[in-house]
Structure 1
Amino acid sequence: MSEKLTTKKKARPGKIDGDASRNAIIVNYELEVAYMNEAGEVVKVEKKPKQDIVALPGVGPDTDLDALADSVISKSKFVTASKKDKVVAALQQIVAIQSGGGEPPSESAPAPRKSRSEAASQGVEDRKKEREARRRKAEKEKQQAEMDRNREIERERVREEELAREREMEAELTAALLKRTEVPDKKAELWQLDEYVENLYESMDDKITGTAMILQLSLKAENLEQMSRNETLFLALSRTLREDSKKSMDLVINIMYIFFCFSSYSEFHPVLFQYKIGDMTMKVIDLEVKRHELRKQDLKKMKQTKEEGGSVGKEEKKTLLVMKKQDKLLYLCFHLLLNLAEDVNIERKMKKRKIVPYLVLMLDRSDEELLVLACMFLKKLSIFKENVADMLENDVVPRLVKFIASENDNLLGVVLRLLLNLSFDTEALDALVDQGIIPRLISLLSRNRFKEFVLRLLYQLSCTDRGKSVFALTEHVGLIGDNVLQSTQRRVPLELVALAINLTDMERSALSMAQEHRLPRFLQRAMHTGDPLLMKVVRNMSQHHQLTEQLTEFVYDLAQMCTQVDNPELLVECLGVLGNCVDERISWAKIAEDLDMVSFLHKHLVPGFSEDDIVLEIIVILGTLCLDADVGEVLGNERLMGAFVEIVMEKQDDADILLQSIYTLLRLLMIERTRDIVLVSYGEKVVPFLVSHFFHRDPKIRDYADKALDFVMEYDETWAEQIREKKFQVHNEAWLNAVEADEGGMQGDEYFYEGETEQYNGFEWQDAGELQFVNNEEVVRF
């Protein structure tokens, strides 16, 4: 039965053309249809070019094109008020063709010819800007390539260390196993192998003796190749294991040990697969797990008998001895399977045979070598998501957390690596938080051997809201800050600084980390080393008002650093810190004048010079400077104001830049000198811009635009009347469109423009003056 699919449609507006032959405006758009399954996942996307044709009344030279453009916008749901200029241009094109005058100059038409000197000057300037843009792009690409290369080198180093450590642990485990292996007094000889095989057809004691001699030969790597070619040997061993696995544990241990020796070398794996050794090993594990449950019940009964005064000394000792042997057998079985799991296909077969639940059960045992091996195997399996789900279903997290206090370094190391793999699953992260692992991990930071993995795991935990909340409640957040300050590397290690960034995003954790005068020390170190991530830590802390005062004395040095730094990533963070320093006692006017910040701000406000994230922070800084009433004389620079207005007009589609731009405009209008420049020189652009966002979907943008317009109306009567009239027009248009939609004007398909929307009084604002209606209460986001 095919799965039921639901559809969501989204329209992307395109080019607007005028068609004189049909006397219509052609609105091109692309309709994107997303097909989703019941889980809400997109399974298929179709894109189709479409046209919306808006018929026009008679159009002539005397037609009011501005009013006609408003009519077109009201009739087409694919044309927004921000595209009015393009609609007017299309109408002009129709008028020109119908009047026989040909097409008017379009946006792509060549500009009027300039004089030779002007053209030469403009050409030199354009080439200079192009060279500068190429230079900056090449520098940025070079920096990015260097960072990528360093990260790859670091990853390779970590991988090599991880593999070396695993090989070292396996060697230690094998050595420990050899120490516990009883070797017969008689020396085995390879030429007597057939005699040892014949013993497998005799009594049980002979079988044990024969397998012990074969095992002695198998422990020498130089014998394995010749032995692997002996078909009789493998047939006899596999038959004996299959028939006598329930009769003697010593016999099974010897046989599994022989197979384990072969499994240690990849070239012998085909031989083991040929005789189905993996399948028999799984059966042995299944049998021993069931036996262990019975022995646990026997021990429980013995304990009750002892409490009642009975004697069970010999029986208890015998049971414990058998369980110890069983640990050795299970170690051999799982180690053999771990070796065979080099092949992913074999690993998948093991997963189907329930290898994961068996390994999780091993975590309840006390033998440390078996615990280390089980964790190593689980770590290998945890690479695949389905295996992680099996582990969580079998309560692996509580079993692992108890080993955080282990004194066995090998066990603790592999447990931390396994927990790190599991931490990429959200359910596992929640389980780790519930088990109270965070304080335990922080206490391990003093052990340098595990510090790297502890920090990575703490970082993973700090990525969730629940984890951050637990961090905030602990008393050890300051210890993270001390580790940052005590780092001997020029740049703080990535795991450590990333953890600090996440923690300082929450006010309580930031306050804890700032204790003992750490915040100024963070800033001083970041300024000295030029570490952008450490500066981001400072930026996060500076956003909490209780900590801003600690940075006041560094504002001048920080502003000076901003004007000199070349690294864009560092500049963004420095500007962010500076923008958060909103203490009214700071003399911004003096700082701006001493450091010639007008030139600095103007440079980055030139369209195309800086990336959007830097532009955003520059606009924030401009608004922060306006906190000082005396800054008007410094900022009263027509070039600066002009660049600011131009960048605002260009970047108004960016929600963050739009919000900060309107707030900064509000601050500039509060200062007489800058207000005069903005309204006199750029009022024709600024006032319509503010009016167009008077009904924006974001309440903060609406509020700042309203306040800014109030300032304009208060100080300029000429604009006041126009603003009141425009507000009425926009409000009336919105109401009429809402009524039209309510009467069924937009029944049927739902169209969504790109970007998030939210419901507002029956209609939605997409951008300046744009209305978008929905048929249901829940707004769908793409």
Structure 2
Amino acid sequence: MTKCSERGFPRGETGLKEWEQRVTQPTVRGGGPSPFIFLRGETVPPSSPCPSPIAHPCIMKLKTTTIDVHPTEKAIIVHYDVEASLLGEDGEAMLEEKKERQKVIRLRSLNTCSDLDTLCRDIISQCRLIHPSRTAELKQLLYYLQNRKEKSVGNGGGIATDPLNASFDATSPSDVEANLNCLEDYIELLYEDTSSKVNGSGLILQLCRNPDNLEEFSENDVMLSALARVLREDWKRNYDLTVNLLYCFYCFSVFTKFHGVIQERRLGSLCMEIIEFEVTRRSQWLEGLLPDSAKRLSSATSLDAAEEGGATAISEGGAIANKSEEGTKRPNSQEQSDSGPSRKKLRAALSKQNQLLRVSFYLLLNLSEERAVEQKMVLKGIVRLLLAALDHPEEGQMTSELATLSLTFLLKLSVFRENKNEMAMLGLPRIVSPYLVWEESPEVPNITLRLLFNLSFDSGIREAIVRAGLLIPIVAHLGVEKNQHQALCLLYHLSVEDQVKSMLSHSDCIPMVMRFILSSSASSTPKMELLALAINLAANKRSAQLICGEGGQGLRLLLKRAVKQQDVLLMKMIRNISQHDGPSKQLFLNHVGDLAMCLQRTHMPESEEFVLECIGILGNLTLEQIDWKAILEEMDLLVWLQEMCCARTTEDDFLLEVVIWLGTMARDEEAATYLLQNGVLQNVLTLLNDAVHYLIDLMNDANAQVAKLCDASLDLVMAHDPTWSGKVREEKFRHHNGQWLEMISRSLAAGETPSPDDLACSSLGDDEDSIRQQLLDQAQLFGSSTPSDDCLSTTSDLDDLPSTSRKSVAKFGGFNS
């Protein structure tokens, strides 16, 4: 006879045990009958404690709603409603509450030979929630369970909420199914020998895989303390035991509310210690692949060592014990005969170790949801450990699951600058290079590309990626639809470097990019990252020629698509192509009219940025074959140019491109004469007055190159326009002697007379304007900001003066101090 579950309600529910004890007693405190009246079914806890149970009895009504099968187990689920009514002194209901509940009836011995009629009678006799009138329905459900094919139980039908589908293999008796009622027996096994500990931990793991049990287990200090103690004491002795114990705590780590169970027992630090030990052990095992280490590997049976309390074959430092006999060396034939078993043993050891590392890293990854915990892991070297685990992908030493997990963990850590710097220092691009061409799982290359993209914001890492030879594998992923987005973004970052632009011109990158751009539907624009990469590639001369294609076919298709869709990014790409002298620029002769037509009032696009790019392309076409005068007359662009140069509302960027285009057209004598006769160039000259003000403002810019260019431009203005000479000289003087002038101004504002030291032996008046004028006369300003030879010699003689004299001269040293 199949035994039904003795529990009618979840064991982990709060206050259930106390409730069961109360309802099994016929009387309550103070004597008298029980205040609980059960109309049908089993005892059910009320939703809230009943105040004054003697004075206010509580009536509980049970009503079965539906009966269904368990989705994964051999069990029947009975859904029922609990109606609780609190009666007053007059017998009327004072308070009513209804709650949905369910009862699981497990049928573990159900098989194809079971008698369903007998089983139905047993279930109905033991579970009063099912009325005899529903016997036919119950029999139909049992028949379904009897013939249902069992699903894979690799993860026990339990924890499956992790993002990477963590289904670890646990070691437990294959013919024994864990029973929640035998939990104390399983805990007792943890106090016996190693094999018993493995069996006990495997059975407990079966229960932990069911999320419904975790709430109750989190309050079971005896079980948790026993698991933590065995893990802390015996993790070096047996891989299967260590994996089972870590997997139990991993089940808790999936849920944030149970992280305290792990942190209270400091299991995070223990995991770091285990990973450190295993990574060191792995590097020493791999030395056994050498021919002279075959004898060491034949004796490295540390996986199941010390099962009976003997010494482990692995030392505390992780080194493999070498028990080879001393004496003469074996013949080469004997070494070759040993290499086969040694390699088999090594692969078996690495397989178990990969499983241990995987569950350890998963546990830490779940705990790292808290930023403070993650920082502790970083301080303990989690980045180094992850890279060390990834550093041996050959010889079957790495599984796709472990690689995916390690790369995901690194991806999570890479968003912080400190972690990024450590990854760069440890040579991450070289270590992850094999995973870009990983064929066993498509997830591995995808995560690798995302990781490299996060790091590619650093110029040093971009250089490291190129040095590691990753450019061609990254380009190859453009053809993989799942990895295309990540590859485009990464190549865009890399193409910022001029060296990479040149290298990409010798790869399949440009043909693939052109195919993606031109193959997209006419109604939609290509992806932004695709166009951004194309813009960078067009800045290289060889790449621009490849984009134009044979006979300019590529350029013609790009221009046609850009004008039709008014695509600003495509026009930026074409503009970069137009800046290269040579064959690619000559191809624009056939498209000058189309570009100029975009500037006509009747054909002008709505987007000002698109018009700006068109003007920029025309400004780059410094070709003698172009008749600019004819274009201006035919397209009626002269009036538009005059308005652009005179309008005060024109944007500076727009106005700059117009001026550059006018300069390009002025290279043609006929066009220059035409522009001059119609007053366009005069309008441009009036813009220079405003330009001087900008130059003066930018003369003190923080960018040294900008300040130098503005200084040189102001020297030209001073040489050709005397009206600006005095103002520019005064502004330069203020800049170089600003601190001294501020001190003098404060003294004059306070009504004080500057001291002789402040005036440096100069007979200056009390008036500030006269002071400034005399200073300007003594400053000996030069026509250029670059000091002359005489001035350099004068300033170099400052070192020969006494300290007091040197200080006074420095105040009036002019612009070259």
Mapped partners of 1:772, 1:285: distance in 2 = 67
2:252 counterpart of 1:262: yes
Whether the 8 Å CA contact 2:571–2:614 is kept in 1: the answer is: yes
Amino acid at match of 1:326: Q
Amino acid at match of 2:266: K
Tell me the CA shift for residue 285 of structure 1.
1.2
2:232 counterpart of 1:242: yes
Whether the 8 Å CA contact 1:592–1:634 is kept in 2: the answer is: no
Amino acid at match of 2:248: I
Distance 1:439 1:307, change over 3 A: farther
Mapped partners of 1:511, 1:536: distance in 2 = 16
Distance 1:258 1:649, change over 3 A: same
Which position in structure 1 is the counterpart of 2:451?
A: 418
If asked which structure has higher relative contact order (CA below 8 Å, sep 6+), I would say: 1
2:632 counterpart of 1:592: yes
Which position in structure 1 is the counterpart of 2:213?
A: 223
Tell me the CA shift for residue 234 of structure 1.
0.9
Whether the 8 Å CA contact 1:616–1:656 is kept in 2: the answer is: no
Amino acid at match of 1:353: K
2:485 counterpart of 1:452: yes
Tell me the CA shift for residue 641 of structure 1.
4.7
Which position in structure 1 is the counterpart of 2:102?
A: none
2:305 counterpart of 1:272: no
Mapped partners of 2:404, 2:625: distance in 1 = 61
Aligned alpha-carbon RMSD (Å): 3.8
List aligned pairs for 1:480-499, cutoff 5 A: 480-488=513-521, 490-499=524-533
Which position in structure 1 is the counterpart of 2:194?
A: 204
Tell me the CA shift for residue 226 of structure 1.
1.3
Larger mean CA deviation between 291-300 and 633-642 belongs to 633-642
Mapped partners of 1:540, 1:580: distance in 2 = 9
Whether the 8 Å CA contact 1:462–1:499 is kept in 2: the answer is: yes
**1:72-121 CA-partner distances (Å, limit 9, x unpaired):** xxxxxxxxxxxxxxxxxxxxxxxxxxxxxxxxxxxxxxxxxxxxxxxxxx
- In structure 2, the residue corresponding to 1:201 is in which secondary structure? coil
2:659 counterpart of 1:625: no
Tell me the CA shift for residue 758 of structure 1.
7.6
Whether the 8 Å CA contact 1:616–1:657 is kept in 2: the answer is: no
**1:664-701 CA-partner distances (Å, limit 9, x unpaired):** xxxxxxxxxxxxxxxxxxxxxxxxxxxxxxx97548x9
Which position in structure 1 is the counterpart of 2:424?
A: 392
**1:18-48 CA-partner distances (Å, limit 9, x unpaired):** xxxxxxxxxxxxxxxxxxxxxxxxxxxxxxx
| Structure with the largest fraction of helix | 1
- Choose from 276, 283, 290 the match for 2:273: 283
- Choose from 332, 346, 356 the match for 1:319: 346
Tell me the CA shift for residue 426 of structure 1.
1.9
List aligned pairs for 1:252-651, cutoff 5 A: 252-300=242-290, 301-303=292-294, 308-310=333-335, 311-312=337-338, 313-363=340-390, 364=392, 365-407=397-439, 408-474=441-507, 476-488=509-521, 490-516=524-550, 517=552, 518-546=554-582, 547-563=584-600, 564-631=604-671, 634-636=674-676, 640-641=680-681, 643-651=683-691
Q: Which runs of 5+ in 1 are unaligned?
A: 1-166, 659-694, 710-722, 748-756, 765-770, 776-782
Tell me the CA shift for residue 554 of structure 1.
1.3
Mapped partners of 2:598, 2:697: distance in 1 = 23
Which position in structure 2 is the counterpart of 1:161?
A: none
Mapped partners of 1:772, 1:259: distance in 2 = 75
Larger mean CA deviation between 250-259 and 402-411 belongs to 402-411
Whether the 8 Å CA contact 1:607–1:647 is kept in 2: the answer is: no
Mapped partners of 2:344, 2:650: distance in 1 = 78
2:763 counterpart of 1:773: no
Mapped partners of 2:196, 2:173: distance in 1 = 15
Mapped partners of 2:243, 2:574: distance in 1 = 60
Mapped partners of 1:318, 1:402: distance in 2 = 25
Whether the 8 Å CA contact 1:262–1:269 is kept in 2: the answer is: yes
Distance 1:433 1:307, change over 3 A: farther
- In structure 2, the residue corresponding to 1:509 is in which secondary structure? helix
Amino acid at match of 2:662: L
Distance 1:224 1:326, change over 3 A: same
Tell me the CA shift for residue 343 of structure 1.
0.6
Whether the 8 Å CA contact 1:579–1:617 is kept in 2: the answer is: yes
- In structure 1, the residue corresponding to 2:450 is in which secondary structure? helix
Whether the 8 Å CA contact 1:357–1:394 is kept in 2: the answer is: yes
Mapped partners of 2:625, 2:613: distance in 1 = 23
Give the TM-score normalised by the residue count of structure 2. 0.60
Percent sequence identity over aligned pairs: 31
Give the TM-score normalised by the residue count of structure 1. 0.62
Amino acid at match of 1:309: Q
Tell me the CA shift for residue 760 of structure 1.
6.6
Tell me the CA shift for residue 503 of structure 1.
1.9
Tell me the CA shift for residue 261 of structure 1.
1.1
Mapped partners of 1:573, 1:168: distance in 2 = 53
Mapped partners of 1:560, 1:306: distance in 2 = 87
Larger mean CA deviation between 383-392 and 252-261 belongs to 383-392
Distance 1:323 1:186, change over 3 A: same
- In structure 2, the residue corresponding to 1:174 is in which secondary structure? coil
Amino acid at match of 2:373: I
Distance 1:430 1:696, change over 3 A: closer
- In structure 2, the residue corresponding to 1:366 is in which secondary structure? coil
